Amino acid sequence: MEAGSVNNTVCRLISLSMFGNEESFRADTDWSAVFKEMKSQTVAGLVLRELETLPMDKDIKEKWRNECYRVISGGVRLRYCQSALTELFKSAGIPYLILKGTSAAIYYPDPALRVMGDIDIYVPQQFFGQAMDLMISGGYEQFTTEEDNERHLSFRKDKTVIELHRTFAMINSEEEKKYVDGLLEACCGSGNGVSQDQGQESFGAPPTDVNGIVLLEHVAQHMLTGLGMRQITDWMMFANAHLHDENWPEFRKMASKAGLETLAKVITKMCCLYLGLKGSFRWCADADEMLCAEVLDYLFDSGNFGHKLKDANKVANVGNFYKNSTHIFRSLQAVGEQNWQLYRKHRWLRPFAGIYQIFRYIRQSLEVPDLISSFRKGSAEGKRRQNMRSALGIYRESV
């Protein structure tokens, strides 16, 4: 079965599962390949309610059902850990917001079927040190990853990873990033926007429009690291619940200030075209359909966190990084500070972070088999990403 047919089936399954749209499936559907793709995209659990009606072999259905149960049990464990953490913060008087995760799941038909990864919790800058000390004293183990940066630190407890954020935005101009982070700080200081999850649990989540900006920013971030279907369904279900034509004018003001208006239009129209989103979405009618298709192709080509691109992804990131940057040495310094674990322990090494990043790129290139072929593929992929992001209006260099 061709990859295009698998991808088409994935889109139809999401349409069926999220909205109950009537969908038909080909008799020769390779359900094993479809399951593999949906699991890779971390959206296989969404199909549980429709699983019995799908014309697939018993063995595949049983494997799929077990994956759904795994998603549910993982969510229960994460929610338990999140509840303990938020109670810890509440008892210490630390304001917080849960970003993504359960704050995105509230828009799903069944929040329990959205796969949970880690817990992203935001606290205002002035509370960050206190929150960090409280977590360490409360038995949360701090550890370092390549994703750690000035935005957040990583902790874990009971097999659950927690990212403690002091900022969240990371794209476009400094002004636009400050605007997004300012939204979080402002609503966090006002006592949190409390959301209910299945009526069983309350937690601090951003107010509706700010929550939408967070989910849209998250999509934009993954346009660099590798876009997955879960980031898209998070945004789609928010738009389905809160972003019909009558709500767009107010949200548009915020999206424009965040540099995310074009992205909002393209992703929403893509969901209408391919994923079954219906309703009054005239506000995105002028989005470029070819760009919508290109983003969807990129999603399936890259996979969640870009895992499908592998070696070409390394070269594409390097080549694309330099093409995008007009300040090479400053950018090397910034990326080096994010990637160098030793620097995070010894801040006096900061002047050498740019040099570290140069050698990191050299090492990555040497790890790639058939470097010339990978470079060609990666260079083409980097150019593709650059042009696509430019059309979406994100990752601009201007301030």
Averaged pLDDT, 23-40 = 93
Same domain? For 295 and 337 the reply is: no
H or E, element range at 216? helix 208-225
Same domain? For 219 and 316 the reply is: no
Two tokens, residue 29: 């559907």
Pick the range with the lowest mean pLDDT from 104-118, 228-242, 350-364: 350-364
Band the pLDDT of 316: cuts 50, 70, 90.
low
pLDDT given for residue 356 in this prediction: 81
H or E, element range at 336? helix 328-339
Same domain? For 266 and 317 the reply is: no
Q: What percent of the chain has pLDDT over 90?
A: 63
pLDDT digits over 105-137, tens only? Answer: 999 999 999 999 899 999 999 999 999 999 999
Same domain? For 169 and 291 the reply is: yes
Do the domain assignments include residue 397? no
Please answer whether residues 312 and 374 qualify as being in contact, where contact means their C-beta atoms are separated by less than 8 angstroms.
yes
Averaged pLDDT, 272-299 = 96
Q: How many residues does the chain have?
A: 399
pLDDT given for residue 398 in this prediction: 37
pLDDT given for residue 340 in this prediction: 75
pLDDT digits over 212-235, tens only? Answer: 999 999 999 888 778 999 999 999
pLDDT given for residue 366 in this prediction: 64
pLDDT given for residue 3 in this prediction: 53
Pick the range with the lowest mean pLDDT from 31-40, 50-59, 313-322, 350-359: 313-322
Same domain? For 235 and 334 the reply is: no
Same domain? For 235 and 295 the reply is: yes
What is the rounded CA–CA span in Å between residue 74 and residue 52? 22
- Supply the pTM of this predicted model: 0.84
Please answer whether residues 247 and 29 qualify as being in contact, where contact means their C-beta atoms are separated by less than 8 angstroms.
no
pLDDT given for residue 346 in this prediction: 77
Last residue of a domain, one of 277, 306, 335: 306
What is the rounded CA–CA span in Å between residue 284 and residue 295? 15
pLDDT given for residue 386 in this prediction: 83
pLDDT given for residue 35 in this prediction: 96
Work out how many domains the chain is built from and give that number.
2
Band the pLDDT of 304: cuts 50, 70, 90.
low
Report which of residues 327 and 11 the model is more confident about.
11
Pick the range with the lowest mean pLDDT from 136-150, 293-307, 365-379: 365-379
Using alpha carbons, list the distances in angstroms from residue 319 to 27, 178, 276. 43, 28, 36
Q: Which residues are 149's β-sheet partners?
A: 152
Do the domain assignments include residue 104? yes
Averaged pLDDT, 134-147 = 86
Residue owning tokens 């994703």: 147
Same domain? For 212 and 325 the reply is: no
Same domain? For 342 and 302 the reply is: no
Tally: H helices and E strands in the chain: 16, 7
pLDDT given for residue 196 in this prediction: 47
**Looking at the predicted structure, is the pLDDT value of residue 148 above 90?**
no
Do the domain assignments include residue 147? yes
**Looking at the predicted structure, is the pLDDT value of residue 331 above 80?**
no
Report which of residues 188 and 137 the model is more confident about.
137
pLDDT given for residue 134 in this prediction: 97
Averaged pLDDT, 347-363 = 78
Last residue of a domain, one of 286, 306, 326: 306
Average confidence score pLDDT of the chain? 85
Band the pLDDT of 149: cuts 50, 70, 90.
low
> What is residue 303's three-state secondary structure?
coil
Do the domain assignments include residue 115? yes
Last residue of a domain, one of 274, 306, 338: 306
Q: Domain range for residue 370?
A: 310-392
Band the pLDDT of 198: cuts 50, 70, 90.
very low
DSSP structure string for 245-271: GGGHHHHHHHHHHTT-HHHHHHHHHHH
Do the domain assignments include residue 341? yes
